[in-house]
Amino acid sequence: MSLESIDFPLLLDHLQTGVVIHASDSRVLYANPKALEILRLREEQVLNVDAYDPSWQLLDQDSLPLSAESLPVNRVIASKQSVSNLEIGIADQSTDSISWMLCNAHPQFDQNNEIAYIVVDFIDITKQKEEIPYKDIVERAGDAIIVTDANYQREQKPKIVYTNESFTKLSEYTSEEIKGQNPSILQGKDTALETKKVIADALSNNRAITCEILNYTKSNKPYWVELSIFPLFNRLGKLKYFTSIARDISTRVATREELKQLAQCDPLTDLLNRRGFDARVQALNNENQESGQVVAILDIDHFKEINDQFGHATGDEVLKAFSGSIKHAFRGNDIVARWGGEEFIILFSNIDINLALDTMERFRKLIASRKYAISSHHDISFTISVGMAKRKPSLSLYEAITEADNALYRAKQSGRNCVSVANAEEVRHVFSADNPPQH
């Protein structure tokens, strides 16, 4: 069989390699069926045009659009030399996926050594390019994964372009619902402002960051995640995406908070202990709520006699009963703690010393008038002594506590069942003569 007898158009039509033939001005003269399939185009979209449908584009190895001069046919026209083994991606608006092909382009010359036409052939290498099924691995990963674009400006925040199955299970948002949203949609009223600032700073500087953050599901259920965010750059060093990997640590945080609570609470009275008091004070200081602070230290009078007469078990019941009275007597923003033994401490914030003194005196009278049914055999009554001090700007809180402790000592020396105040000259007298506060 001679070459003249071979039906080359028919042969090209059956090739599993895509073939496109261009004229010397880049117009498409012919595209075989495989080429149309790979390019996702119809024949009428291709023939006699030098630019394809605007919704379709070629990409380089870094998934960036190829410029017109970088197209294989134009490179051949410009250089009159072949282009071999060029990896090119094909994308259009019909799908999010990219098809990858290995492309060759060869010029064919006329008798004047001018380009008569250019033959471009390509084969689909998408599967070979993804020898490891990265997308399948990511999709089935146990951690929630979010990928956003790299737009981070004050007026424009990154938008989500991909989430995996684990993200949907954790957040309740489907990939369709969340796509195009900013990840801040997952944050809520109790998400720490400081954490959000740290994340924003890292993103604006293209830095990786790992942190813990409180997020919220679509149904507004809070959950904690350990969040790792890192930028993804292409091989040219250009930032393309931010990727977030979120691991659900809600159980870990709950356990940690429970242990923290146990470490900061007195097991007998269920009040804060000294460590818990310190932690709450630090939180107040961080919130700049140091103004108008008054300290009161309370001591159960003759508590040793209660232990000696009724036993330590009864003494413990007295402490628990008294703690219940304290819990119900003071404001929710007052910090109440067991200071040690039969001593208790109260830190009032944003309060005038006179109002705090009035409150403390009423509580002292209440305790003195009350009988506690500790057991079926005993009703026990007792009194308390109180030392108070106002925290001045020149004093640290613990210096004010020392002043309150000294005032408590004076109250005991004065016969107990009374309130003694440090810096008495600043306190107006509000009690009757038969039961004045001790200064």
Catalytic positions, please? 342
The single residue listed with the structure tokens 């679509």 is 218
Token code pair at residue 301: 């009078």
Token code pair at residue 60: 């380089």
Distance of CA 281 to the CA centre of its chain: 25
Cβ(161)–Cβ(176) below 8 Å: no
End-to-end alpha carbon distance in the chain: 124
Spatial distance between the Cα atoms of 374 and 202, rounded to a whole number of angstroms: 59
| Coil vs helix vs strand at 323 | helix
The single residue listed with the structure tokens 């809600």 is 250
Element (H, E) at 7: none
Spatial distance between the Cα atoms of 152 and 184, rounded to a whole number of angstroms: 13
Spatial distance between the Cα atoms of 411 and 368, rounded to a whole number of angstroms: 15
Q: Alpha-carbon dihedral of residues 419, 424, 429, 430, nearest 10 degrees? A: -40
| Coil vs helix vs strand at 308 | helix
Which contacts of 213-220 are long-range, i.e. CB under 8 A and separated by 24 or more positions?
A: 213/187, 214/187, 214/188, 214/190, 215/171, 215/186, 215/187, 215/188, 215/191, 215/246, 216/186, 216/187, 216/188, 216/191, 217/170, 217/171, 217/172, 217/173, 218/171, 218/172, 218/173, 218/177, 219/172, 220/188
The number of CA neighbours under 13 Å toward the Cβ of 310 is 19
